[in-house]
Each structure stands twice: as C-alpha cells, then as structure tokens.
Copies of this chain bind each other. A is one copy, B any other.
Amino acid sequence: MHRTHNCGELRKENIGEKVTLCGWTQLKRDKGGMIWIDLRDRYGITQLAVEQKNTPAQLIEIIDKIGREYVIKVLGEVIERYSKNDKIPTGDIEIKIEDITILSKSETPPFTIIDNTDGGDELRMKYRYLDIRRNPVKNALMLRHKVAQEVRKFLDEQDFIEVETPCLIKSTPEGARDFVVPSRMNSGEFYALPQSPQTFKQLLMIAGMDRYFQIVKCFRDEDLRADRQPEFTQIDCEMSFVEQKDILDLFEKLIKKLFKTILNIEIDYNFPQMPYDEAMEKYGNDKPDIRFGMTISDLGENLKGKNFVVFDSAEYIGGIVLPSGSEYSRKQIDELTNFVRTPQIGAKGLVYCKYNTDGTFKSSVDKFYSQADWAVIADKMQAQKGDLILILAGEKELTLHGLSELRLKLANQLGLRPKDKFAPLWVVEFPLLEYDAESQRYHAKHHPFTAPFDEDIELFNTDPGKIRAKAYDLVINGIEIGGGSIRIFDKELQELMFKNLGFSKEEAEAQFGFLMNAFKFGAPPHGGIAFGFDRLVSLFGGSDSIRDYIAFPKNNAGRDVMIESPSEISQNQLNELGLALKETKKTL
C-alpha cells in the first residue's frame, strides 16, 4: 500500500502517529510562514501543514510545484490542530509534513472540483471522471451501491435467487424500439438488447425458480426525453404461487426497509392503495403526489345549465382549490392562464373564483353564476375564505391532465413538495385494455400477459375497456417507482387476451411463440414487479434527475460525450457484419 491511512480516518486518537497519506490536492494556502494543503480522497479531507522555516528547502521546492488536483503522497506526524474545524471528521488534527512525493501532475481542471461547481452540464459530462471527484456525484454513486446492496440482502433473505438473463436476445416487432446487434457468425441476422427481462422471468417461473430477482440493465431505443436514458437499470422480480396481495406486502416491506436503512425513516403504516379511476378523478393522474391535498372536484353538475356556453358544451368541468389564493393579482392569474394554455397542457382558458376573506365570491364568470352558486361549489370543494378556486373545462382526459399539471405547479410554488417528505402509494385496479382510436383496437395497458380480475373476465364479451387488471404501480411523491402485475398462466385466457388485442393466432405465435410453448408444460400462477433503479436511487438522494445517479450517463441525444460514442465504425467491420450504410443518411 502506498498509504497507511486514508484521508477520512485520522482522529485525535492518532496524534503522535507517523502516517503516510495519498490523495488529490484540493487546496493549497500559503500564509506567510505556513503552508496548508487540503488532501482529498474518497473518504474525506485531511489537512497537511508545513512550517516553512523548519522545512528543508528541497521539500519546499516540491511543495511549490504542487497545483490543484495533483496526486501526492506525504509522510508525516499526526498533530493536534491549532484552530479546529468541526465541519469535517478529521478537523481536530493535521499532518506535519516530513516528506512529500508528487505521484501525478494535473493540468488545471476545466471546472473546479467543489460541491457547487462552475462547470456546466455538458462540460461535466465530457470530464465525468473529474465530476465524480465532486461530493454530490461521488455520494450519489455510493448511495446507489448501498441501495443495491440492501435490495440484494433483503431479497436474498426472502429466498429470491438472482438469475442473470441474457443481454443478446431476440427482436420483437411490438412496443418501443429495440436496439439490435448484428451477428457476425450468423450473417444477416440480429440479436436485440432486452427492453426488460419480462419473458425470461416468466420462463424462470415456468422453470420452477419460484422467486427470481435481478438488478439488470435494460435498453430502449426511444427518442429521449429529459430524464430518459437509452440504457437504464431495473430491479426486476417475479414470484410463483402468489396473488396480488402477496406481492404488494412483500415489496412494501422492501421499500420500508430501504427507507429505514438508507434514510433512517420509519414508515409505520400500510401504504395506501388507490384505484386507478380514483387517482384519475381526484388527481388527474395515475401517479398522484399525495403529499398534499388540493384534489380535483368534478363540477359539471354545479356549473352546467347556467347558459355559459363554454361549460355547457364541455365534456368535463373540474376545479381545484388554491389555499390562501384569493389575493392573487391579475398578473398572477394571467400567469396561470398562460400556463394552462401552453401546448403541453392545451386548455383554452382558466376560470377562477376568489372566495374573499369577507365571505363574498368574485369570479371571472360572474355574469352566469350567483353568489349562492359559488357558495354551493365552495362547500363541495371544502374551500375556505381566502382561497382561490381554479376551474378548467373541455375534453375530460385533457382537462384532468391540465388540472393535474396546475395542481403540481401550484404545490411547487407553495413548497408543498419537500424532498425530505415521502408519501408512498399503491395505484391498483388499472384498466386491462386501452382503446386506441387511431388503430381502432385495444392495446394492453400493462402488457399482454397481465391477468384480468377474475370477476371481470365476462366483460371481454360486452365491455372490454371496463376490465380491471391485476396490475399495480408503486408511486412515491408523484413518481412512478415501480409497477407490475399478476400474469395470465392459463393458455385459454391468454388466447382470449390476444384475440382482444387483435392478434391472429399466427401473429401471436410468431411474436410470443416460445413463451406460449413454455406455457404448455405446466405454468404456475405467478406475478412480479419491476422498479426503476435509477429513479429509486435519485428519489432517495433527493434529486429530480436520474443522471446524477448514473456513473457515465448519456445526453439527450443518446451520446456519451466523454468517450464520443456512438461513432462510425470501419468499412472492414461493416463488411464482416455483411452490412452497408444507406447512402443518404436519414435526417432526424
């Protein structure tokens, strides 16, 4: 070992010891007669001290050369510090330097290696190996490690077996886009990278593995949104001989254990369970943030029939209450109106009603509604004097979405979404099928193997859209952390499902043949869940961005700007793969 101790472990008790430390030069201060160096490694910072007059010139010469981020090795004695620093665990001591070696020089880094760096996003990504030296990123990666360890420990204790499923699998024509991998040995043929190990984990249940998990990379060649990565990590789980309740119970325990061990937060209640329909009606959203109220009220029966054409012609009218908002200025309300009119939300306008502190109402549609009308509405919405009622109307789904966005925006403004408060929630009773107007057929809301409620199976003949699925999502603070379902394990039911999804027997066979084939040999009842690991860790870390929790993330164009990938490959490689590039590059 080049060192006897790391930079985070020396304490008062070590005073008098001769030690050797290695690390990076965080800071060098020359205060006339004394030089101090902050030496940094993963474990912490230790202060080095040199009294110039008592130090050989040769040593001073070396110290003079040392710049920021130089890697050095020092030999010295642990001494008590004159002015202690209670902000760091090593703050009681410093090292009186007796010898020093420069192990590695450093050019001036493109940004400063401090918690609040001056580096912009792209620069930090290009020099990610310097960015990771910073505490926020280093700690994020260490948190990620710790969460993974705890997950594995818990699941191991619960008899889960981690099984590695293959990365080089088969492309399926359905769903989001696969990354494909040309095979050199089988020219003209391709592997695909898995979007999830779904079929493999079901095969493992048929294989009798009983309880499977895997912390596993998945891949999706989608157009990237702000917080999507082409490769991401899942905690993927599947169990046999269980019902929905068993899965929710067990994984609720896991999440509680993680809150306890990672954040020291004790959650001593059962996570609430909310049916999908209720989430949509009350929150306009299938992943509601329930840290705060401000739920949506359906105001159709209150507001229709009063000759206000906009409302009378609307499929749906809904509103939320902004506490203490009656004093909102014209400008503030205009700002909200502009917000709901943005293309992402697409509302035509915003109706408001101030519930003044004197008990009167002042709305933007006073022509159509009386004080008495508003009193009834205020009562229904449990609005208080001094509140502001905000109302959207239009196509139902769109309007609920708008109200949801408005609700979240206002809660953010009001500080109702603190990062250190957590509100877990199971959303359950998802619809099994979703009607797609464009293709004029039903799609599986979760995936085609999700089991319907037993008592809803007869609805396949009458009203398939009403069938509830044995599917569930774990939502924390408005973020979907995981989701899963009980699977169909009965061949006939599966065939009925495929029929309803518009698959011919041949198409079902072509796409899911090997899984269907496996079902012929004794499939157990089974179900599972998958958690977005990147997202779970960033939630624990108190960040909105998963990127900080990935060691080497890609940017929004799917590029790794550090290694400059993707990149062109040689003609030779293309030839070996039996491939040619099309002459005209596709414009994106």
The 8 A CB mask of A151-183 against B (1 = contact, 0 = none) is 010001000011111111111010001111111
Q: Identify the stretch in A76-84, A416-424, A447-455, A557-565 within 8 Å (CB) of chain B at 4 or more residues.
A: A557-565
Task: Report yes or no: B168 in contact with A130, Cβ–Cβ below 8 A.
Answer: no
Residues of chain B lying within 8 A (CB to CB) of residue A402: none
Q: Are A132 and B522 in contact (CB under 8 A)?
A: no
- Interface size for chain A: under 10, 10 to 19, 20 to 34, or 35 or more residues? 35 or more
Hey, what's the 0/1 contact readout for A233-260 against B, CB within 8 Å counting as 1?
Answer: 1000000111100100000000000000
Contacts of A138 in B (CB 8 A): 207-209
| A568, B224: Cβ atoms closer than 8 Å | no
Tell me if A210 counts as interface (CB < 8 A to partner B): yes
Residues from chain B with a CB closer than 8 A to the CB of A181 are: 179-181, 193, 566
A168 pairs with B581, CB closer than 8 A: no
Complex formed: what's the CA distance from A514 to B580 in Å? Answer: 28
Contact of A71 among B1, B128, B141, B523 (CB under 8 A): B523
Q: Is A565 a contact of B163 with CB atoms below 8 Å? A: no
B41 touches A210 (CB 8 A): yes
Among B564, B576, B579, which residue has its beta carbon within 8 angstroms of that of A579?
A: B579
| Distance of A442 from chain B, by nearest CB (Å) | 23
| Contact A243 B577, CB 8 Å, known A24-B522, A210-B42 | no
Q: Does A582 sit at the interface, judged by CB under 8 A? A: yes
B554 touching A168, Cβ below 8 Å: yes
> Does A551 belong to the interface (CB within 8 Å)?
yes
Q: Is A521 an interface residue, CB under 8 A from the partner?
A: yes
Chain B residues within 8 Å of A523, by CB = 71, 104
Contacting pair B557 A171 (CB below 8 A) = no
> Which residues on the B side are within 8 Å of A129 (C-beta)?
203-204, 206-207, 518, 521
Q: Which residues in window 104-118 of A have CB below 8 A to B?
A: 104-107, 109
Residues of chain B within 8 A (CB-CB) of A210 are 6, 41-43
Within 8 A of B (CB), among A215-236: 217, 219, 221, 223-224, 230-231, 233
Contacts of A105 in B (CB 8 A): 522
* Chain A window 22-42, contacts with chain B (Cβ cutoff 8 Å), 1 for yes, 0 for no: 101000000000000000111
Q: Are the C-beta atoms of B180 and A514 separated by less than 8 Å? A: no
Is A329 among interface residues, defined by CB-CB distance under 8 A? no
- Of A142-150, A268-276, A280-288, A381-389, the one contacting chain B is A142-150
Cβ of A182: which chain B residues have Cβ within 8 Å of it?
180, 182
A312 at the A/B interface (Cβ < 8 Å)?
A: no
Q: Is A550 an interface residue (CB 8 A)?
A: yes
Residues of A185-200 at the interface with B, using a CB-CB cut-off of 8 Å, are 185-193, 199-200
Are B161 and A224 in contact, CB atoms less than 8 angstroms apart? no
Determine whether A69 belongs to the interface, using a CB cutoff of 8 Å to chain B: yes
A267-304: contact bitstring with B at CB < 8 Å (1 yes, 0 no)?
00000000000000000000000000000000000000
Residue A490 CB within 8 A of the other chain: yes
Chain B residues with CB below 8 A from A173, complex form: 570
- Set of chain B residues within 8 Å of A165, measured between Cβ atoms: 551-552
- Known A208-B41, A566-B191, A580-B579; judge A69-B522 contact (CB<8 A): yes
Q: Give A contacts to B, CB under 8 Å.
A: 1-3, 6, 22, 24, 40-43, 69-71, 103-107, 109, 127-133, 138, 141-142, 144-145, 148-149, 152, 156, 161-171, 173, 177-193, 199-200, 203-204, 206-211, 217, 219, 221, 223-224, 230-231, 233, 240-243, 246, 489-490, 514, 518-525, 550-552, 554, 557-560, 562-570, 573, 575-582, 585-586, 588
Which 7 A-B pairs rank lowest in CB-CB distance, beginning with the nearest? A132-B207, A106-B522, A170-B565, A189-B566, A42-B210, A183-B566, A2-B241
Known A148-B162, A168-B219; 19 more pairs at CB < 8 Å:
A24-B522, A41-B208, A71-B523, A107-B520, A141-B161, A142-B161, A145-B156, A152-B152, A164-B551, A168-B560, A170-B563, A170-B566, A177-B576, A182-B182, A185-B588, A188-B581, A188-B585, A579-B579, A580-B580
Can you give 22 contacting A-B residue pairs, CB < 8 Å? A1-B243, A2-B243, A22-B241, A71-B523, A104-B519, A144-B163, A149-B162, A164-B233, A164-B551, A166-B560, A168-B560, A169-B560, A170-B565, A180-B573, A181-B193, A186-B558, A186-B559, A187-B588, A189-B567, A192-B565, A514-B562, A579-B580
